[in-house]
Amino acid sequence: MQAKFITIEGLEGAGKSNAQQVVSQVLQHHQIPFIHTREPGGTPIAEALRTLWKEGIGGEHTTDKAELLMLYAARTQLVESVIQPALESGKWVIGDRHDMSTLAYQGGGRGLDPDLIHTLRQAVLGDFAPDFTLYLDIPPEVGLARAKGRGALDRIEQQHIDFFHRTRTAYLQLVEASPNAVLINADQPIKQVSAEIQQAVENYLKFAIA
Ligand code: T5A
């Protein structure tokens, strides 16, 4: 059986951490070896890029295009040095965010030129893509309130609410267009969300390991 790349996507506070645990439990139950990744980040260089992007230096922050380039630099580093080697060694990968985040946040939220994103993506990732994506859908107001409950919001989380509405709209369009993505209503009690994630992964496994 070929190892698979499963990704978890959604706005801040959607419950991606809980989803990671649920997916892990299902894979463990089926005795499937796996690793976790997060984006941006997941290798020392990619984590350094994440910090640089999130915090800036001396009050200087990345421009929108520089942000896009840094996200793809971090992603390429992670894919080439961690994700692909893991998949080749038979380990599945559970990714906390991947390329759909860039299409939603930088494409939808920031409104960057889709041709620029697609050209860059094709140049650095080629045909590499997740096998299965769980998109946790949540109204931005609900997700941000949850994120706020955890502590102060970071620079990205402090964007205007319209940014997150545009990002969510883009996510919904991407999921609608993707045969490999499943939408989970994350605006429900955590027990219900977990049960739906578990069912979605079990359904995927029936197909993937058949
Ligand atoms: N980004 C990332 C881009 O712009 N482009 C890209 O290409 C990529 C890869 C990442 C930031 O980078 C941006 C997107 C992000 O802004 P991050 O710090 O990794 O930054 O932020 P997030 O990935 O958004 O992580 P969060 O921790 O904010 O979101 P989660 O993981 O979805 O939230 P989680 O699971 O920690 O849950 C938040 C709180 O809600 C509770 C949890 O217990 C927790 O307290 N909760 C629930 N409460 C009630 N009901 C439920 N059903 C609940 N589910 C969870």
Is there an atom of ligand 1 within 6 Å of 62 CB? no
Per-residue pLDDT for the chain (210 aa), expressed as one digit of tens each? 899 999 999 999 999 999 999 999 999 999 999 999 999 999 999 999 999 999 999 999 999 999 999 999 999 999 999 999 999 999 999 999 999 999 999 999 999 999 999 999 999 999 999 999 999 999 999 999 999 888 887 878 888 999 999 999 999 999 999 999 999 999 999 999 999 999 999 999 998 987
Ligand 1, pocket-test mutation among 65, 97, 153, most atoms within 8 A of CB: 97
d(CA 197, CA 135): 10
How many angstroms does the Cα of residue 175 sit away from the middle of ligand 1? Answer: 18
Is there an atom of ligand 1 within 6 Å of 75 CB? no
Q: Quick one: pLDDT at residue 12?
A: 96
Q: What single string gives the DSSP state of each residue in 104-135?
A: IIIIIIS---HHHHHHHHHHHHTT---SEEEE
Computed from CA positions of residues 82, 84, 88, 94, in that sequence, does the dihedral angle turn out positive or negative?
positive
d(CA 79, CA 82): 6
Terminal CA-CA length for the chain? 9
Closest by alpha carbon to 34, among 3, 70, 65, 59? 3
pTM for the full predicted model? 0.97
